């Protein structure tokens, strides 16, 4: 999945959903220290767990929690947006 996403060094990535720790860590490592990887989920607990898992895998991520209808980001902030296990 990480390879199919085509994330490159320095890109700004948003991952919607917190269930796939391998995906989150993988894209964060690909974007590297010059990029930015953010994860967004509905609950503080799920986001905190996903951030912890990614950091244990050696990745740097920023976690955000809230409602799907009110993402806390401006337009055109990310180069790549991935969504995993979010829709019912």
Tell me the per-residue pLDDT of 58-87, one tens digit each, with 9 for 90 and over.
999 999 999 988 899 999 999 999 987 776
Domains of the chain: 8-69+78-83 (3.40.50.150)
Q: What is the pLDDT of residue 68?
A: 86
- List strand residue ranges (DSSP E) for the chain, in order: 12-16, 36-41, 62-65, 80-83
Confidence of residue 16 (pLDDT cuts 50, 70, 90): very high
Predicted structure pTM score:
0.88
Question: What does the pLDDT read at residue 29?
Answer: 92
pLDDT tens readout for residues 28-63: 999 988 999 999 999 999 999 999 999 998 999 999
Angle between helices 44-56 and 21-31 (to 10 degrees): 60
Q: Per-residue pLDDT averaged across 5-34, rounded?
A: 90
Do 13 and 7 form a contact (C-beta atoms < 8 A)? yes
In terms of Cα–Cα distance, which of 64, 30, 56 is closest to 12? 30
CA–CA distances in Å: residue 34 to residues 2, 5, 47:
18, 18, 22
Q: What is the pLDDT of residue 11?
A: 94
């Amino acid at each position: 999945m990480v390879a199919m996403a085509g994330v490159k060094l320095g890109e700004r990535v948003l991952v919607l959903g917190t269930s796939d720790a391998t995906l989150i860590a993988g894209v964060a490592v690909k974007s590297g220290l010059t990029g930015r990887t953010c994860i967004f989920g509905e609950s503080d607990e799920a986001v905190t767990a996903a951030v912890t898992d990614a950091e244990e895998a050696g990745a740097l991520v920023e976690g955000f929690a809230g409602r799907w209808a009110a993402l806390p980001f401006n337009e055109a902030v990310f180069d790549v947006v991935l969504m995993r296990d979010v829709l019912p």
